[in-house]
Chains A and B, each alone.
Chain A
């Protein structure tokens, strides 16, 4: 079973920030939070990941709460091309684990 819960869908106006929440209350100390997105039926695409600290890259920012039980993915200026299903997943960095995805959040960016 997935260890994360996300709202099934969200809307965002084009040009505005999209804030996608994720709950992972049972996260273990050695588990990272990863975010992926899937556009149409393409393969999921990596966005960002973090352990404790907030992270930022060219695609997004990741805010992780101090207790690590939840996180928020921020797309600072959403475009129509950001319309996709966004998956939050937690897993340890050692290989060979069964990496289970939840249902994700379907983000619709509207003009």
Chain B
């Protein structure tokens, strides 16, 4: 499984755009990049997933450069409720029973 590296913490203010970058230098050809969000005392929640270029949904955008060795989760106009830990994971799309391995994640604090 590809190892991921992300900042331990980030701070932002309400209404700003937040970009969290994840490095995954040894990503494999069949690996996808997935981001999860976790609020305190809750289970992780899927945010977005992509393979290459750009993916956008109602919550976030995911930018993946051509070499796929990194990816950036973009949260537009964050609010206080976006304060959470954000995890970048890399692995096969379905991969049968393949487990997801969580790193330490990025602790995002949004301030008023």
Partners in one complex: no
